[in-house]
């Protein structure tokens, strides 16, 4: 029992080490032999598959289709949109050789695909009848990062990137907001991670965007994580790539484009929002194993209990992702800790006395609560419990976010909270103030939240009249 727990650094004493311990000890990820790269092992990849399913279904329901564009992008294409290349040039991995030949033009391993997709769209779109183009891509991207951390910032990561073209600015803006809402729904309802929605300030925008919409989540250490973004690109890329269409009125016009992305980074949020000193706590909708059954019994009883447990698992297996832990080299106590560490939402314990009483013991991972119920109620009770645990994890996270959100008038007030949490404050709109705050405190403007309105107060940094109500935090 001690053995497992000792392996994880307590969350409260060193959050950063706790995170690394948790993701490695639970077999979620491993470090690859190249700096900055990680391996997603089956236990985390399965979570990614569930997230993909939830996202992909919503993308298709809103009329999007998947496609696949090349991994490698010629340098001249990447450079076509000026702000875009400026934003990404330092992060690009370059292919310079094919076989034994030196290439005449370097190829970028895609850091994102606006440019190659823009080049293709300019050939596919001719008439207003060809619009809207609503395409999504599931892909890997590479960004040459200096400081990396599994899921949160890795040299390579998996994501989806949507790229759409519309006839009007209004339609493109609607698309941008619609996709943000899909992200919010999946992140809050599947990952059980509450988010604040808003628009990025100019200094925090995607390179080449007119506006970037974002979802910001609060991690267990009081730092913010950008969970997904949706960009209104205006006509920046359609002008750079000649994406034009002949409109119904006979006039040749540039299309209005959007792009939106979410990545394996979300799994990092999931871990940092719900995890505790014992390890992971996984929301049932995304848990690879939703229920684990641990048989308890020694000697002759062992076989009888195991058979009983096998029958139970076979009965429940159709309605829930259930696993029987029949390993004979570990004690029940060890198994309890092992599965708690791996975040399995519900544990069923079953021993000789339970069998005699026709009952079983349930242990919830979210609350630690243990109860006994009649075995014949299990089939109905488990789906209810899955919903309850899903809701409870969201409730706890929402409560944490609420109690760690502060309204401040002057940025020195942030100091008393150790700069941990969501800080709502007025901002004059000047990038100088944002830069000054960042260099002094490490706080950045996460977004201008949709739900907040500019107050007639004064800038939290310079004390001049404010234009915006902004959300500030230290961010991953």
Shortest spacing between CB 320 and a second copy, in angstroms: 16
Q: Which residue has the tokens 């992140």?
A: 187
Which stretch, 15-23, 44-52, 443-451, 454-462, contacts a second copy (CB under 8 A)?
A: 44-52
Among 49, 86, 170, 431, binds a second copy (CB under 8 A): 49
| 91 touches a second copy by CB under 8 A | yes
| Cβ–Cβ < 8 Å for 320, 386 | yes
Q: Is 270 a residue that touches a second copy (CB under 8 A)?
A: no
Q: Is 135 in the site for a second copy (CB under 8 A)?
A: yes
**Among 128, 156, 207, residue whose Cα is nearest residue 31:** 156
Structure tokens at 318: 């159709």
For 249, residues 6+ apart whose C-beta sits below 8 A from its C-beta are: none
Binds a second copy (CB under 8 A): choice among 82, 95, 380, 455 = 95
| Dist. CA 222–CA 462, nearest whole Å | 25
Non-local (6+) Cβ contacts of 318 within 8 A are none
The correct pick among 53, 57, 63, 124 for binding a second copy (CB under 8 A) is 124
User: For residue 367, how many other CB atoms are within 10 A of its CB?
Assistant: 12
Interaxial angle between packed helices 265-274 and 378-403, expressed in degrees from 0 to 180 and rounded to the nearest 10 = 90
CB of 197 or CB of 310, closer to a second copy: 310
449 and 471 Cβ atoms separated by less than 8 Å: yes
- Per CB under 8 A, which of residues 307..346 are in contact with a second copy? 329
Per CB under 8 A, the list member of 8, 55, 85, 142 interacting with a second copy is 142
State whether residue 263 is helix, strand or coil. Answer: strand
Mark residue 144 as left, alpha or beta (left: phi above 0; alpha: psi -120 to 50; beta: remaining).
Answer: beta
Told to check if 77 binds a second copy by CB under 8 A, we report yes
Q: Using CA atoms, how far apart are residues 387 and 395, in angstroms rounded to an integer?
A: 12
Q: Which is nearer to a second copy, 247 or 464 (CB)?
A: 247
Shortest distance (Å) from residue 314 CB to a second copy: 16
User: Would you count residue 65 as binding a second copy (CB under 8 A)?
Assistant: yes
In whole angstroms, the minimum distance from the beta carbon of 344 to a second copy comes to 16
Q: Which of 8, 92, 125, 305 binds a second copy (CB under 8 A)?
A: 92
Q: Which of 20, 24, 25, 69 binds a second copy (CB under 8 A)?
A: 69
Question: Which bin fits 192, alpha (ψ -120 to 50), beta or left (φ > 0)?
Answer: left
Chosen residue from 5, 9, 20, 74 binding a second copy by CB under 8 A: 74
Q: Does the protein bind a second copy through residue 251 (CB under 8 A)?
A: no
> Looking only at residues 9 through 38 of this chain, which bind a second copy when binding is defined by CB under 8 A?
30, 32-34, 37-38
266 touches 228 (CB < 8 A): yes
Within 13 Å, how many C-alpha atoms sit on residue 123's CB side? 4
Does residue 152 touch a second copy according to CB under 8 A?
A: no
Choose among 75, 78, 116: nearest CA to 95.
Answer: 75
- Choose between 330 and 450: whose C-beta lies nearer to a second copy: 330
Q: Is 147 a binder of a second copy (CB under 8 A)?
A: no
Contact residues: a second copy, CB under 8 A: 30, 32-34, 37-42, 45-46, 48-49, 65-72, 74, 77, 89-100, 106-107, 109, 116, 119-120, 123-124, 129, 135, 139-140, 142, 144, 155-156, 158, 329
């Amino acid at each position: 029992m001690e053995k497992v727990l000792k392996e994880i650094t307590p969350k409260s004493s060193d959050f950063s080490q706790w995170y690394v311990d948790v993701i490695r000890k639970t077999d979620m990820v491993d470090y690859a032999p190249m700096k900055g790269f990680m391996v997603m092992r089956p236990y985390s990849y399965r979570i990614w598959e569930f997230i993909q399913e939830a996202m992909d279904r919503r993308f298709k329901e809103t009329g999007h289709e998947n496609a696949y564009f090349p991994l490698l992008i010629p340098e001249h294409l990447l450079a076509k949109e000026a702000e875009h290349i400026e934003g990404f040039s330092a992060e690009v991995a370059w292919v310079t050789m094919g076989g034994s030949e030196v290439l005449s033009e370097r190829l970028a391993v895609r850091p994102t695909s606006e440019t190659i997709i823009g080049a293709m769209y300019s050939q596919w779109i001719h008439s207003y009848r060809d619009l809207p183009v609503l395409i999504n891509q599931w892909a890997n991207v590479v960004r040459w990062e200096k400081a990396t951390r599994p899921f949160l910032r890795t040299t390579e990561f998996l994501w989806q990137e949507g790229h759409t073209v519309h006839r009007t600015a209004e339609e493109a803006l609607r698309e941008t907001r619609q996709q943000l809402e899909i992200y919010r729904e999946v992140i809050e309802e599947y990952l059980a991670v509450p988010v604040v929605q808003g628009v990025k300030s100019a200094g925090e925008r995607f390179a080449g965007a007119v506006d970037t919409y974002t979802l910001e989540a609060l991690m267990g250490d009081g730092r913010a994580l950008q969970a997904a973004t949706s960009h209104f690109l205006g006509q920046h890329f359609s002008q750079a790539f000649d994406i034009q269409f002949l409109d119904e009125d006979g006039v040749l016009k540039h299309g209005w484009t959007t792009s939106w992305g979410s990545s394996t980074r979300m799994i990092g949020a999931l871990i940092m929002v719900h995890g505790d000193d014992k390890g992971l706590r996984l929301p049932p909708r995304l848990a690879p194993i939703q229920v684990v059954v641990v048989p308890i019994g020694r000697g002759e009883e062992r076989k009888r209990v195991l058979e009983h447990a096998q029958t139970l698992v076979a009965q429940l297996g159709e309605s829930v992702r259930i696993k029987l832990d029949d390993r004979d080299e570990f004690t029940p106590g060890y198994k309890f800790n092992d599965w708690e560490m791996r975040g399995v939402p519900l544990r069923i314990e079953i021993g000789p006395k339970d069998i005699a009483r026709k009952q079983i013991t349930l242990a919830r991972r979210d609350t630690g609560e243990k109860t006994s119920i009649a075995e014949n109620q299990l089939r109905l009770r488990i789906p209810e419990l899955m919903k309850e645990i899903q809701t409870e994890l969201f409730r706890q996270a929402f409560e944490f976010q609420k109690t760690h959100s502060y309204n401040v008038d002057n940025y020195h007030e942030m100091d008393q909270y150790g700069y941990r949490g969501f800080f709502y404050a007025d901002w004059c709109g000047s990038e100088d103030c944002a830069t000054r705050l960042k260099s002094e405190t490490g706080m950045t403007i996460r977004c201008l939240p949709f739900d907040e309105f500019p107050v007639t107060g004064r800038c939290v940094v310079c004390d001049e009249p404010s234009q915006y109500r902004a959300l500030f935090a230290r961010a991953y």
